[in-house]
Amino acid sequence: MQDIEREIRDLTARRDITQAIQDYMRGQDRLDRDLQLRSFHPDADVDCGLLRGGPEAYTDFAQGFLADLVSSQHLLGQIDLSIDLDAGTATGEVYFFAWHRTNENDEPKDLFMAGRYIDEYSCKDGKWAIQRRRELIDWARHDAASDGILNEMPAIHLSGRKGADFSQTRDWASGTSGR
C-alpha cells in the first residue's frame, strides 16, 4: 500500500507543478497578472537576465514588456521533473517557444525565441509552486511579419488580450449550436 500512496503523491505533485508551469505561460499570454503570480510562492526568486527579483516585481516587468507588444504567444515543450517527495522539493527544466509581434517604424515584425526555464519547486502548505526560476534563451530571430493575409479574412477569430480574449470571455454568439 505504501508504494501506491507514494505513486499517487508523485503523480499529484507532477500534476500540480505542471499546472503552475501552465498558469505561468497562460498568465503571460493573456496578460493575467493574478494567474501568473499564482504559479510562484510569494518568496520565490526569478531571474530572466534583464531582471532578477520576486514574483511581483518579475510579473510586473514581464507583463509590462509584453503589454507593449502587439501580441505574443508562448508554447511549452518537454518538461523534465525530478521530485523529492520526502523533502517537498523538485527540480525541472521546461522548454519553451515564444512568438512576439513587434512594430518597428510602422512595420510589423516577428520576434521568435526558444529557450528553457531551469526551475526549483517546493510544496508549502500543500501547494506546489515555483520557488526559483532562471530563464535561458537558446536562440532568437527577428523577421518581417508575413501573415498579413489574416487581416484580409474577417471570418477568422483573432486572439485578444487583457480580458478580451474569447478564452476569457466565452462570449458565444446567441443561436449557435455550441460546436
Whole-number pLDDT of residue 67? 93
Q: Based on the structure, what is the number of domains in the chain?
A: 1
Whole-number pLDDT of residue 139? 97
CA-based radius of gyration for the chain: 19
Q: What is the mean pLDDT of residues 105-121?
A: 95
Whether 174 is in a domain gets the answer no
| Burial class (CB within 10 angstroms; exposed 0-12, middle 13-18, buried 19+) of 13 | buried
**C-alpha–C-alpha distance, residues 108 and 141, integer Å:** 14
Whether 26 is in a domain gets the answer yes
Whether 175 is in a domain gets the answer no
| CATH number (domain holding residue 83) | 3.10.450.50
Whole-number pLDDT of residue 177? 55
8-12, 89-93, 170-174: lowest mean pLDDT where? 170-174
Whole-number pLDDT of residue 172? 84
Spatial contact of 130 and 79, defined as CB atoms under 8 Å apart = no
Whether 149 is in a domain gets the answer yes
Whether 179 is in a domain gets the answer no
CA distance from start to end of the chain: 44
| Residue 65: domain span | 2-154
DSSP 3-state assignment of 115? strand
**C-alpha–C-alpha distance, residues 101 and 108, integer Å:** 7
Whether 163 is in a domain gets the answer no
